[in-house]
Amino acid sequence: MENLSEKTSVKETRMVVGKAGVGTVSTIGEALERCKGIEGPVRITILSGVYRERLAIYQNNLILSGIGDVEIVDGRYAREPDGNGGEIGTFRTATVFINAENVLVENITITNDAGPGEVVGQAVAMYSEGDRVTFKNCRFKGYQDTVCLGPLPEVQKTGLPFCTPQLKVRFEKSRAEFHSCMIEGTIDFIFGGGEGLFHQCEIKSLKRPDDGVGFISAASTPEGQERGLIFEECYITAEEGTGNVYLGRPWRAYGKTVFSRCWMGAHLHPERWDDWDKASNRLTATYVEDRNHYEGDGAFIIPDWITFIEEEEG
């Protein structure tokens, strides 16, 4: 994936966001608004602080770079009333929504602080419907459905369409990379149909209020798509007291998930994979565990519907 931070031959448009009058503007939303219509690379530098904002990013060729401790936080939740007698639903809760290509986000924490799913329903921190989106040294904080990588399935399981933020572009491919990031949550907190590479990240399960089981991933990979969610050299950890966490379950039948050369904590459920109470998913979903290191007593079960690759000797 192209790294915008290494471009030197193309002139950048630069803006600085800071508190207390330091910077070009005081909010990230205003900086994005001022960049509308600019085609060349845009770099928005964000000075340290907590920014209580909800962002929709449509700017291509964008670098969003934090200095110091930068947090973007909002608290919308799926059960929030929509003003018409219904609820806003999962995908309009995102603190940061991205519908653009060639975007780099670095050194930023993105948080949805609405609370646990048992109380408020799903609450998304970051939802991407873009392509060639890269995150470096970022943190994603939430509970249920923390990070979503589109595309979404065509319809909900009820047959009704999903309600989402405005999609100005539908990309042929939806690819995202996460490098040296931390992602936390409880249920399906990394999910969707996009191609996601997670490299040397910490994937941290939080303790559920009811002590229920947890689920890290919920892929909805479209049929025929080569890649789904790939975790490579990651650290699969948990908050103290957390147990019985599954590596994943298929949100849709052809979900694809791979954990390769990862360090697996002792909090994982012995079976590690769930079929979402649908046995037919075992015939279509693709789950691979490749040369991982497993903490604990080693008393885990290898389900017959996953591919398990042991560490090669020598």
Q: Which residues are catalytic?
A: 188
Q: In which region does residue 166 sit, left (phi positive, over 0), alpha (psi from -120 to 50) or beta (all else)?
A: beta
Task: Give Cα separations from 8 to 100, 178, 179 (angstroms).
Answer: 22, 23, 22
How would DSSP label each residue in 106-159? ES-EEEE-S--HHHH----SEEE--EEEEEES-EEE-SBS-EEESPPPSS-TTS
Structure tokens at 127: 């939802």
Q: What is the number of alpha carbons within 13 Å of residue 198 lying toward its C-beta?
A: 29
Q: How far apart are CA 180 and CA 289, in angstroms?
A: 20
* β partners of residue 96: 55, 126
Q: Where are the alpha helices (DSSP H) in the chain?
A: 28-34, 117-120
Return the residue matching tokens 């995908």.
91
Q: How far apart are CA 86 and CA 66, in angstroms?
A: 37
